[in-house]
């Protein structure tokens, strides 16, 4: 069988990608689905839209490659994380729309729990923070706000799942109610130290244990597709939340291995090995994919504005019409001319966590032009990544030796070279940039013998390497200026004037 099928179920679209034995892309299909915004700060998906868009993308990609399900050795799923679905075990019907990870409706519940003093317990057990982002308060919201649901849940009639669980439950006609450890670790209910659903946490959030899926390894045969629609009778053998899937897709399988995805925002994850460790730098600890079937951990830091700063230059400043054109404009000058751009459009994420920080461009002179500002914008992406990576290094004491990159903005050579210069370590950009889907494919392929080992996979990868070549002292000065600028941007909106 020549292919592995990766289902990449994202926030705005469902994609299906076929990979061949060499890990090359043999076909891609992508189906967008509607975003539902019922109120300010609320974001929902219709679970049936998620399912049908994903199934149709799978059917389409097979058609495009002239393949049938019999040509597919196994399928793997990488999914948007934290998004919460509750459905009836008998009818299979969801009791409400899915509450998406971006949804902030449970902020008051998080504040109340914080006041009750449970955050430290939550952190010690889950490695996370008490934030609406994660699943637990979303489940509680559905139980408390959809009529009759709590009573049905208490009778064991309802099932909870993140998107991976929902897809697999449907693909196996309700036979398997499972999730993998990487997804479980984003719910606030999974004890990642003791590797189990945690009764105390379930009690704190008021969630019946009977709703929870069985937890499996990310690379494990969990069943076969039995639905007559789509990839019939294919083995389901890989599951991971999208960021952990990308970490695995980049083969970051040893302690210290780190990857950064440069999309709208940037997601940095570093494998920290088999020992749980809490961050002293306000990063979260989470489970990584393990093929050895023992818990492995990663530190994670997210940056809100990454490639989005380029969108802003394009759409609001009208400096250019296409995002990739930023590279030529930034390259039209030798340096940023001392301009520093802090893109704190929505405050600052890890490791600063300042919701009141303001966007700022500082150091403008008479000779400052759009080239300098474009260059400062590109540099700001790299500076923010350096902030998170330094925080990770401080947490682990294991200095990162190289950074592996993917995502749309990683196509920018100038950014990648600046990143290498700034960090003083090589930046590796694989030829296949679809790390998220690739991770799910690797997990499924390894579980079914399609590939024999991570080493075998490593030999078939091609990549570009950006080596540091700038003067270290000069880069240290640049970075120092950035840190100073960040201090000036912090707290700007705290007085309420700009908010
Ligand atoms: P997402 O998955 O978050 O939608 P993508 O991985 O598709 O993001 O990357 C898109 C982002 O990358 C956009 O914010 C865009 O502005 C930025 N981008 C695309 N090409 C480039 C480029 N050549 N240089 C810098 N940024 C880019």
Query: Which pLDDT tens digit goes with each residue over 259-281?
Result: 999 988 899 999 999 999 999 88
In a domain, 394, yes or no: no
Cα separation, 26 vs 157, in Å, equals 42
User: Which residue from 15, 249, 264, 305 has its CB within 8 A of the most atoms of ligand 1, so it is best to mutate?
Assistant: 264
The answer to whether residue 39 is domain-embedded is yes
Average pLDDT over residues 299-305: 92
Number of folded domains that form the chain: 1
Would the pLDDT of 405 be above 70? yes
Is residue 493's pLDDT more than 60?
yes
Distance 407 CA to ligand 1 centre (A): 7
Q: Tokens 């240290």 identify what position?
A: 476
Asked, for residue 353, whether it belongs to a domain, the answer is: no
The pTM of this model reads 0.92
494 part of a folded domain:
no
- The answer to whether position 165 is within a domain reads yes
Strand 258-262 to strand 463-466: parallel, antiparallel, or no bridges (unpaired)?
A: unpaired
Residue 350 confidence (pLDDT) = 85
- Give 137-196 pLDDT, tens digit per residue: 999 999 999 999 999 999 999 999 999 999 999 999 999 999 999 999 999 999 999 999
Residue 324 belongs to a domain: no
- Mean pLDDT across the chain, nearest whole number? 94
Distance of CA 408 to the CA centre of its chain: 14
Task: Report the helix count and the strand count for the chain, using DSSP H and E.
Answer: 16, 23
Report the nearest-CA residue for atom 26 of ligand 1.
Answer: 409
- pLDDT attached to residue 232: 79
Residue 498 has pLDDT above 50, yes or no: no
* 55 domain-assigned: yes
By most ligand atoms within 8 Å of CB, the mutation choice from 408, 410, 432 for ligand 1 is 408
Q: CA-CA distance, 106 to 132, in Å (whole number)?
A: 5
Give the CATH number, domain containing residue 33. 3.30.420.40
- 152 contacts: CB under 8 Å, gap ≥ 6: 88, 95, 158
Give the position, in ligand 1's atom list, of the atom nearest the Cα of 308. 14
At 356 the pLDDT is 83
Q: Which ligand 1 atom minimizes the distance to the CA of 324?
A: 23
Alpha helices in 37-189 (DSSP H): 47-64, 107-115, 119-126, 136-145, 149-154, 163-171, 181-184
> Which residues constitute the domain of residue 171?
3-250
Q: How is the chain split among helix, strand and coil, in percent rounded to 5?
A: 35, 25, 40
In the three-class reduction of DSSP (H, G, I as helix; E, B as strand; rest coil), residue 201 is classed as helix
Residue 323 Cβ < 6 Å to ligand 1: yes
Has residue 330 been placed in a domain?
A: no
Mean pLDDT of 25-46: 92
């Amino acid at each position: 069988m020549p292919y592995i099928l990766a289902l990449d179920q994202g926030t705005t679209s469902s994609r299906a990608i076929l990979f061949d034995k060499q890990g090359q892309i043999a076909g891609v299909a992508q189906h967008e689905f509607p975003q539902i915004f019922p109120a300010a700060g609320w974001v929902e998906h219709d679970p049936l839209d998620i399912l049908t868009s994903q199934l149709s993308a799978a059917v389409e990609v097979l058609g495009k490659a002239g393949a049938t399900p019999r040509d597919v050795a196994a399928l793997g799923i990488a999914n948007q994380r934290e998004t919460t679905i509750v459905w009836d075990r008998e009818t299979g019907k969801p009791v409400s729309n899915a509450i998406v990870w971006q949804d902030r409706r449970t902020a008051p519940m998080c504040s109340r729990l914080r006041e009750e003093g449970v955050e430290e317990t939550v952190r010690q057990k889950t490695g996370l923070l008490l934030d609406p982002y994660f699943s637990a308060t979303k489940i509680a919201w559905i139980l408390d706000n959809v009529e009759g649901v709590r009573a049905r849940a208490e009778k064991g009639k309802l099932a909870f799942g993140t998107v991976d669980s929902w897809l697999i439950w449907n693909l196996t006609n309700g036979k398997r109610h499972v999730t993998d450890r990487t997804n479980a670790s984003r719910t606030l209910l999974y004890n990642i130290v003791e590797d189990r659903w945690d009764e105390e946490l379930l009690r704190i959030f008021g969630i019946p244990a009977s709703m929870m899926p069985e937890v499996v390894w990310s690379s494990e045969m969990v069943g076969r597709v039995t639905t007559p629609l789509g990839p019939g009778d294919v083995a389901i053998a890989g599951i991971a939340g999208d960021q952990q899937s990308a970490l695995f897709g980049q083969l970051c399988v040893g302690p210290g291995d780190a990857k950064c995805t440069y999309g709208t925002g940037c997601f940095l994850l570093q494998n920290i090995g088999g020992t749980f460790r809490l961050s002293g730098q306000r990063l979260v600890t989470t489970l990584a994919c393990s093929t050895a079937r023992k818990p492995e951990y990663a530190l994670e830091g997210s940056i809100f504005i990454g490639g989005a700063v380029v969108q802003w230059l394009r759409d609001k400043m009208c400096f250019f019409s296409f995002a990739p054109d930023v590279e030529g404009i930034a390259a039209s000058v030798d340096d940023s001319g001392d301009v520093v751009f802090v893109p704190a459009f929505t405050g600052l994420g890890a490791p600063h966590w300042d919701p009141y920080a303001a966007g700022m461009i500082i150091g403008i002179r008479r000779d400052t032009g759009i080239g300098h500002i474009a260059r400062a914008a590109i540099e700001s992406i790299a500076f923010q990544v350096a902030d998170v990576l330094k925080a990770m290094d401080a947490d682990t004491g294991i200095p990162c030796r190289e950074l592996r990159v993917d995502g749309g903005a990683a196509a920018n050579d100038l950014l990648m070279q600046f990143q290498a210069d700034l960090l003083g370590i090589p930046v590796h950009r694989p030829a296949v940039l679809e790390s998220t889907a690739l991770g799910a494919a690797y997990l499924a392929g390894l579980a079914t013998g399609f590939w024999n080992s991570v080493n075998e996979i490593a030999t078939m990868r091609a990549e570009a390497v950006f080596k540091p070549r700038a003067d270290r002292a000069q880069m240290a000065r640049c970075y120092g200026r950035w840190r100073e600028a960040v201090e000036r941007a912090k707290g700007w909106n705290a007085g309420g004037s700009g908010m």
